[in-house]
Amino acid sequence: MNYLEEEDVATRTWDKDRASKRIDAYIAELPIGNIAIKKFVRETDLTNLPRNVAYRLHGAHLYADILNLADMLHVTEVEGETCHRRTLRFLNLHYRAVHRILQRVYAIFVDFHNQRLHSVIAKPYDSEVDRIHKAVAVAQLIIDVLAQTGEDADHPAAKVRVGIDTGEALAVNNGRRGHREPLFLGEPANHAAKRASGGKRTGIYLTSKARETLGLKRVDNEDATALTTEEIAASQDEAALDVTADDIVKEWREDLKNSPIGAFGFSGHTPPFRTLDIEELSVKNSRRQDAATVYSDIDGFTAYVTKNITTDAASKHVVRALHVLRSELDAVLHTDFAGRKVRFIGDCVHGLLVEGTAQTSDAIETISNMTLCAGGMRSSFELALSKLKANGTDASDLGLAIGFEYGPMNVTRLGIKSELVRSSASRGVVAAEREQSRCSGTETAVGSIAYDSGNDAARTVFGKSRKRSGLTYDVAVKELADKNDAVAKAARAMGAAGSLKPATSAPSAFSFPNRPTGPAKPDGFA
């Protein structure tokens, strides 16, 4: 079953019975006894793992952040089509180059989410020191190549900051029916991401663990001390990569000549986004319109993984919890509120929601529905935690941090034809992620544009801080409806009348594009 084969009409409401049946189905799909934790061995293929298999993999995790994405998004005063075209082309140019690098050095490509790359160095299998040396050499190769892959003033070279950590992580895959989405659960991905997002200076930043493994001097502040030129050169000598920056740039230019990116073509999607088939999008067939974008992030997941990764028995519960929780968050967005998941980013759901027409979005209705959707996500999350615990998987320490914003949004696919990745890059996307990051596991925050564009009822819910704790669905409906919000009043009337459509079988929770992803948020897993 794919998205377009599910119920034709979303109710724009959350219902406990409907959510309960979905969650029960997700849990039933992953009995603990059927989950296998295996040791990663030479040449293990991580691109097509069954959902119930996880591999323990010792590797060096590399995160690379393009620091000047924000500059691209503000290249014009107004966030119009010119701004989005330049930003998406800028990302596409550099994504093509980095993808080529990773193929040539035999690194595992995990994800390229807007400005953030996540990659894992698994070879050589028998030497952690050599893996870190190789990660440093690959990082410098990325920096050197992206310094040359700009085109002009509108599409400049990328400024890059890299974070690297080393250690054991669980490689899992929650794709099926030919769709694959491997990601890595554990501290190395999280800590590498934090080093990459730890400042505005370019360079390569290693965690203390990675530095000590290489025999380098310990530093007081990992985020303030980049590797020196001499330290990088030593790693390059040890790694002895058989490809140079000039080789990659030459191939990149040839690729652009043979397969030009073309001009981005935008059109509006007739709401709701639920009916948008992202797999049909391309550079020439992209979408752009005012909409809400949301980041719903599982808080405390890295700590949960760290606590449970030491034994296979406990690790099975990590795999189950991740799949069940993210699947239900996606279902609330898509099935209940007619939104669309852009992608999973590690333990986070990034999605879009809009009401109105293809030409004119209804800001007030969109923001009210997004507020109810955020409440539904929290209610479903709490319900899922309860049901998981009742079925032997105790993830009670986890929380949910939600942030959303409103404004001009785009959605497309970037990259090479056989390896296209989904992208939605805008000021609103950056703002939504920022709002989510200022939340604890009980809070929901709204961006300043959404706050100003909504009605008085929505502003009252969030207050002057634009942040609210404990915003479940019932709380959101009551407070919005009591302030005469039309969307909430309709939702309350539907619930009171018992007119909700009966629940169907759980929608496919694992319908993804045929490409990898991973924990690519600035802080990795929360």
**Position 504 in a domain:** no
What percentage of residues in the chain have a pLDDT greater than 70?
91
Does residue 437 fall inside a structural domain? no
Residue 42 and residue 135 in one domain: yes
Mean pLDDT of 8-33: 93
Asked if residue 483 is part of any domain, the answer here is no
Q: What pLDDT digit, counting tens, does each position of 378-425 carry? A: 999 999 999 999 999 999 999 999 999 999 999 999 988 777 889 999
Asked whether residue 90 is assigned to any structural domain, the reply reads yes
Tell me, yes or no, whether 204 and 294 share the same domain: no
Per-residue exposure over 200-220, b if at least 16 CB sit within 10 Å of its own CB, e if not: eebbbbbbebbbebbebeeee
Question: 192 and 277 share a domain?
Answer: no
- CA dist 160 and 88 (Å) reads 17
Mean pLDDT of the chain: 91
Shared domain for 131 and 211, answered yes or no, is yes
Tens digit of each residue's pLDDT (9 = 90 or more) over 465-485: 999 999 999 999 999 999 999
Between residues 44 and 526, which one has the greater pLDDT? 44
Confidence category of residue 44, pLDDT binned at 50, 70, 90: confident
Residues 347 and 400 in one domain: yes
Q: Are residues 290 and 352 in the same domain?
A: yes
Domain contains 497? no
> Is 134 a domain residue?
yes
| 487, 372 Cβ separation under 8 angstroms | yes
pLDDT score recorded for residue 510: 36
pLDDT per position as a tens digit, 190-226 = 999 999 999 999 999 999 999 999 999 999 999 999 9
- Whether residue 213 is found in the same domain as residue 356: no
- Of 432, 461, 490, which closes a domain? 432
Do 185 and 326 reside in the same domain of the chain?
A: no
Mind listing the pLDDT tens digit for each residue in 280-307? Answer: 999 999 999 999 999 999 999 999 999 9
Quote the percentage of the chain above a pLDDT of 90: 83
Token digits for 59? Answer: 């590797």
Domain boundary among 218, 243, 258: 258
Token output for 219 = 């530093």
Q: Note whether 124 and 296 are within 8 A (CB).
A: no
- Residue (of 349, 376, 364, 401) closest to 487 by Cα position: 364
Asked, for residue 480, whether it belongs to a domain, the answer is no
User: Rg of the chain's alpha carbons, rounded to an integer?
Assistant: 22
Query: What's the CATH number where 340 sits?
Result: 3.30.70.1230
Query: Could you say which of 258, 282, 313 is where a domain stops?
Result: 258
Whether residue 209 is found in the same domain as residue 269 = no
Structural domain count of the chain: 2
Q: How far apart are CA 46 and CA 86, in angstroms?
A: 34
Q: Which structural domain range is residue 182 located in?
A: 37-258
**Domain shared by 184 and 229, yes or no:** yes
Residue 441, in any domain of the structure: no
Both 209 and 273 in one domain: the answer is no
Q: Residue 255 burial by CB count (10 A; 0-12/13-18/19+): exposed, middle or buried?
A: middle
Per-residue pLDDT of 100-146, as tens digits, reads: 999 999 999 888 888 999 999 999 999 999 999 999 999 999 999 99
| 166 and 272 both lie in a single domain | no
Whether 177 has a pLDDT exceeding 60, the answer reads no
Tell me the mean pLDDT in the region 253-280.
95
Q: What is the largest CA-CA distance in the chain?
A: 72
